[in-house]
């Protein structure tokens, strides 16, 4: 049994922990040990994912890396099964995503730092600009936890401070992966659709 374990450990790739982290979700530069190993073994990790039809994308400027599975070619007789399922977002989650993407853009223009932190109250105040009707605005305010949780689950938001008494004081970091998921062209397309829909709910 001992010999088997020794052989197993020897054969395991030394960057296996990086691959597992990427399979779990985005990897950020702030995760210093993983990020260091990702950079050190970048070619080998790219080769590994390439063999199973997955792309490794590294954004050095914004400090994150993720994997992406390209769409299968329609003419492919033996398409690969989907490793990562596409996640559809409802209206409220899409709206919140657009708001956060715009706020990150404004934050970067002002060059106030590298990380954008927002309280739930600040998010609410921004939502007001998208609603003319108080009824619709209040409804989203009451249910704001749902889209926030959705964006936490896909790694766009990270809870950094929780207030058990007043949730408006909860603070979130807007992760820069949002720039990859919602680029400028996609942002404009979504905004145009939202403008025609915003007060019909």
- pTM tops 0.85: no
CATH number at residue 38: 1.10.10
* Cβ atoms of residues 156 and 181 within 8 Å: yes
Higher pLDDT, 181 or 85: 181
The answer to whether residue 2 is domain-embedded is no
For residue 116, the enclosing domain spans: 91-197
Do both 63 and 97 map to the same domain?
Answer: no
> Number of structural domains, the chain?
2
Candidates 74, 70, 66; CA nearest to 86 is 70
Do both 97 and 188 map to the same domain?
Answer: yes
Do both 31 and 126 map to the same domain?
Answer: no
- Residue 183 above 90 pLDDT? no
Mean pLDDT of 132-156: 77
Do both 46 and 129 map to the same domain?
Answer: no
Do both 64 and 104 map to the same domain?
Answer: no
CA distances from 20 to 25, 55, 139, 147, 190 (A): 9, 15, 40, 27, 32
Do both 175 and 144 map to the same domain?
Answer: yes
pLDDT for 192: 66
The answer to whether residue 4 is domain-embedded is no
* Cβ atoms of residues 199 and 139 within 8 Å: no
The answer to whether residue 40 is domain-embedded is yes
- Residue 200 above 80 pLDDT? no
Most confident region among 27-31, 41-45, 128-132, 181-185 by mean pLDDT: 41-45
- Residue 69 above 70 pLDDT? yes
DSSP assignment of 28-92, as one string? ETTSHHHHHHHHHTHHHHHHHHHHTT-EEEEETTTTEEEEE-PPPPTT-SSPPPPSS------HH
Do both 63 and 100 map to the same domain?
Answer: no
Do both 58 and 106 map to the same domain?
Answer: no
């Amino acid at each position: 049994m001992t010999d088997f374990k020794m052989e197993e450990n020897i054969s395991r790739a030394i960057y296996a922990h990086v691959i597992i982290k990427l399979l779990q979700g985005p990897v950020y530069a702030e995760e210093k040990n993983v990020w260091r190993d990702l950079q050190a073994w970048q070619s080998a990790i790219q080769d590994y994912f390439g063999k199973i039809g997955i792309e490794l994308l590294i954004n050095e400027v914004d400090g994150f890396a993720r994997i992406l599975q390209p769409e299968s070619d329609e003419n492919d007789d033996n398409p690969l099964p989907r490793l990562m399922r596409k996640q559809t977002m409802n209206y409220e989650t899409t709206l919140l995503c657009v708001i956060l993407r715009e706020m990150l853009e404004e934050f970067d223009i002002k060059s106030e730092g590298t990380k954008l932190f927002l309280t739930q109250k600040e998010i609410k105040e921004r939502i007001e600009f998208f609603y003319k009707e108080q009824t619709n605005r209040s409804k989203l305010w009451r249910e704001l936890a749902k889209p926030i949780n959705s964006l936490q689950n896909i790694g766009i938001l990270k809870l950094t401070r929780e207030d058990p008494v007043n949730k408006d004081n909860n603070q979130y970091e807007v992760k820069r992966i949002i720039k990859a998921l919602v680029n400028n062209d996609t942002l404009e397309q979504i905004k145009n659709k939202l403008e025609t829909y915003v007060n019909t709910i």
